[in-house]
Amino acid sequence: MEEKVELLLTITGEDQPGITADICYELSKANADLLDIQQVTISPLLVMALHVGLPVPPGEKTTEPAAFVPGELLRLALRRNLQLRVQPFMPSSGPKSPDLYYAVTCLAPSIRPAALNRISSTLAHYGANIDRITRLTEDSLKCLELTVRASCELDRNALKRALFAVSNEVGVDIAIQPESLYRRSKRLILMDVDSTLIQHEVIDEIARLVGIEGEVARITAQTMAGQLDFKTALRHRVALLKGLKASRLQEVADRLELTPGAETLLGVLKKLGYKTAIVSGGFTFFTDRLKERLGLDYAFANTLEIEDGKLTGQVVGPIVDAAGKRECLLDIAERENIELAQTLAVGDGANDLLMLEAAGLGVAFNAKPVVREAADLSISQPNLDVLLYLIGIRERELAELF
């Protein structure tokens, strides 16, 4: 068997068409083994690293790495004005434990060096090594995806808490999730409605029609913060609406505004074959209209009782609370034959927690503190479409869909 020496070749220079082809051609002529290759470009700079096995000429005694590099490859580098560095390949020593891989997504209006310093230092402190950094946005550095490798001893929960603290410190949303097939193959999104899909708390908007917005808003805030039982709070708030003409609900429906990025998010996911659903502790009068407007597959909410064209101050049927939202997720997944690991849930309030915990990926979107701390991921950006970065979609890929 031909003896070979393993070398690491690092090539840098101006990116040009055909460089990879020419290098591989010369390696092929030299009967080299290509054991690994990585390439990145930051226009116009190219950086390529190759782990190769090169034949040792009979009787060769030198240990100088460059002596084993084919002369044609050296001349190619000169012709192409490339820098070629040659060094021995040094495999890691000792027994190797299985590696775990994570995707760490960083989101901000602009990611500064100081922020990346704190993030990468925290990862290193917990024994996680950055294998690759990829920019997901085109015109500015608003989103980076770090592919991170760690041993099986990594305490992911401790790292998550540490990154959460760093996120608050540097003003960058940081999401860490296992880098796996399931991250890139979600099939269902279930979203909360009030203050998530739309920019309002609907029951507060209805209360304004009858001049009791202060009292209703106070109960709403306490409920979303987890200080009041949702079912009791909902019944109290709905009772205050007794006597309101049902026709006036359309006034509220007409002025509801979607959260920026909502239509892009749902449009992209539908094109990718996702099932799309919303669930609300609010009312079917509004969720049914949102379902039709956005072309959603499912919508769940509470039903206001109406008699003689007026609200009775009661709801009909079971109340959709935290447990109800979770059941909606489980029911849709079972009906559509979707693994829970392939589900994405998004919400902002305490009554979303069970749903977020049950989903394959639970995202707290501009959420209350209790929700941010408990969810898998916490996002504080104004636009919903940034959620697409969490499943690895790049900005330039979005343009291809529209």
Q: Which residues are catalytic?
A: 192, 194
* CA within 13 Å, CB half, 134: 18
Give 399: exposed, middle or buried? Use CB within 10 Å, 0-12, 13-18, 19+.
exposed
Query: ω into residue 95 within 30 of 0, thus cis?
Result: no
For residues 32 and 22, the answer to whether their CB atoms sit within 8 Å is: no
CA–CA separation, 322 vs 117, rounded Å? 39
Query: What string of DSSP letters covers 352-375?
Result: GHHHHHHSSEEEEES--HHHHHHS
Q: Which helix (H) or strand (E) holds 191?
A: strand 188-192
Q: What is the distance between the terminal CA atoms of the chain, rounded to a whole angstrom?
A: 55
Strands across the sheet containing 129-135: 129-135, 143-151, 99-107, 173-178
Exposure of 38 in the CB half-sphere (CA atoms within 13 A): 8
Which among 96, 171, 173 is positioned nearest to 386, based on CA atoms?
173
Q: Which residue has the tokens 């996680």?
A: 128
Q: Indicate the pairing of strand 45-55 with strand 129-135.
A: unpaired
Angle at 292 between CA 289 and CA 295, to 5 degrees: 140
Query: Do the Cβ atoms of 191 and 347 come closer than 8 Å?
Result: yes
Phi, psi of 381 (to 5 degrees): -80, 155
CA 99 to chain CA centroid, Å, is 22
Residue 52 and residue 29 in contact, taking contact as beta carbons nearer than 8 Å = no
The Cα 217–Cα 194 span in angstroms is 13
CA 151 – CA 322 distance, rounded (Å): 36
